Amino acid sequence: MISRGLRTLFEKEVLRFMRVAGQTLLSPLITTALYFIVFGYSIGGRLHDIQGVPYSRFLVPGLITLGVISNAFLNTASSLFMMKMQGTLIDLLVTPLSYAEVLAGFLGAAVVRALLVGALTWLVAAIFTGFAVAHPLLLLLDLLLISIAFGAMGLCVAIWADKFEQVNFVPTFVITPLTFLGGVFTSVSMLPTALRRLTLANPIFYLVDSVRFAMLGIADSRPEIGLLLLGVLCAASLALALQLLRSGYKLRG
């Protein structure tokens, strides 16, 4: 049963990002829509189909994955870090909420925001490229696991960080480069050998590829690799986040 404490934390976290929906929902939607319009709809028309799929349509799963990853990460990272900076984290630390409840409350809101951004991105793109989804349940599972994994990572980074700069370090220097080089805009078959090797060593590539398989039914790798990797990523980031909360690292003196 979901306790009132967990429900309260979840509701408060959802209300927090809804209060600034322009920044948390509209802004990422516009960014990904611009990617789609420029790279997919404008330039895409001049590119060949990939595995029988028009480029503009090929691009959509990668952009959705990009939005889901960034927003899940940013929701937990910015919320917890702001609580640390404002001193309102005390309000949470003195409560009887268990460590798992705290984690679940933050992650629940991160999943809602990430899936909302993903769904809105998909809606905008689908108007131009069609609404068909090859494997809807697999798509939902993929995006759910991605948002949980990156939401948990955001929480870990917020616990560790002492400055805003450190919170931004991971999305700027890790997540964005890995995502851009992770097959969001290209199929590995289009890449030169060196870059192809690099892409195949990039874990984000398998996540994007799994989402692409779920949406379009085409993939560069075996789709179960992405799902397996997601399972491992989820378990590892959840375990780390829970351990950090339990240990009180940088939270309790």
Partner 1 sequence: MEAVLTIRGLTKRYGSTVALDHVDLDVQRGEIFALLGPNGAGKTTLINIVAGLTRPTSGSARVLGHDVIDDYRFTRRAVGLVPQEINFDPFFTVSEALRFQAGYFGVRLTEDRLAEILQALDLWTKRDAGSRTLSGGMKRRLLIGKALVHAPQVLFLDEPTAGVDVEMRQSLWRYVRTLQARGTSIVLTTHYLEEAEELAERIAIVDHGKLLLTERKEDLLRRYSEKTLTISLTARLVTLPESLRTIGAQLAANGLSLSITAPPGEDLGRALAAVAAAGVAVRDVETHRARLEDIFVSLLHQGAAA
Site string for partner 1, 61-90 (x = CB under 8 A): ----------------------x--xxx-x
Q: Considering CB under 8 A, how many residues would be counted as binding partner 1?
A: 28
Least distance in angstroms from the C-beta of 72 to partner 1: 19
Hey, is 15 helix, strand or coil?
helix
Q: Can you tell me which of 22, 96, 165, 201 binds partner 1, judged by CB under 8 A?
A: 96
Nearer to partner 1, 59 or 74 (CB): 74
Which residue in this structure is represented by tokens 């929701």?
Answer: 75
Least distance in angstroms from the C-beta of 240 to partner 1: 20
Least distance in angstroms from the C-beta of 111 to partner 1: 19
Q: Can you tell me which of 7, 197, 222, 246 binds partner 1, judged by CB under 8 A?
A: 7
Least distance in angstroms from the C-beta of 152 to partner 1: 21
Site string for partner 1, 18-37 (x = CB under 8 A): -xx-----------------
Which residue in this structure is represented by tokens 């948390």?
Answer: 24
Q: Between the CA atoms of 177, 181, 184 and 189, what dihedral angle is there, to the nearest 10 degrees?
A: 180
Hey, is 200 helix, strand or coil?
helix
**CB under 8 A: which stretch of 10-18, 115-123, 132-140, 198-206 binds partner 1?**
10-18
The reply on whether position 97 binds partner 1 by CB under 8 A is yes
Instruction: Provide the token pair at 89.
Output: 């984290």
Outline where the chain has alpha helix (H).
4-19, 21, 27-35, 55-86, 89-93, 99-129, 136-160, 164-170, 176-180, 193-200, 203-216, 223-247
Query: For residues 78 and 62, what is the distance between their CA atoms, to the nearest angstrom?
Result: 24
Q: Can you tell me which of 91, 123, 164, 235 binds partner 1, judged by CB under 8 A?
A: 91
User: 58: exposed, middle or buried (C-beta count within 10 Å: 0-12, 13-18, 19+)?
Assistant: buried
Which residue in this structure is represented by tokens 């616990």?
Answer: 159
Least distance in angstroms from the C-beta of 233 to partner 1: 29
Closest Cα to residue 45, out of 63, 59, 30, 29?
59
Q: Which residues would be at the binding site for partner 1 (CB under 8 A)?
A: 3-5, 7-9, 11-12, 15-16, 19-20, 83, 86-88, 90-98, 248, 252-253
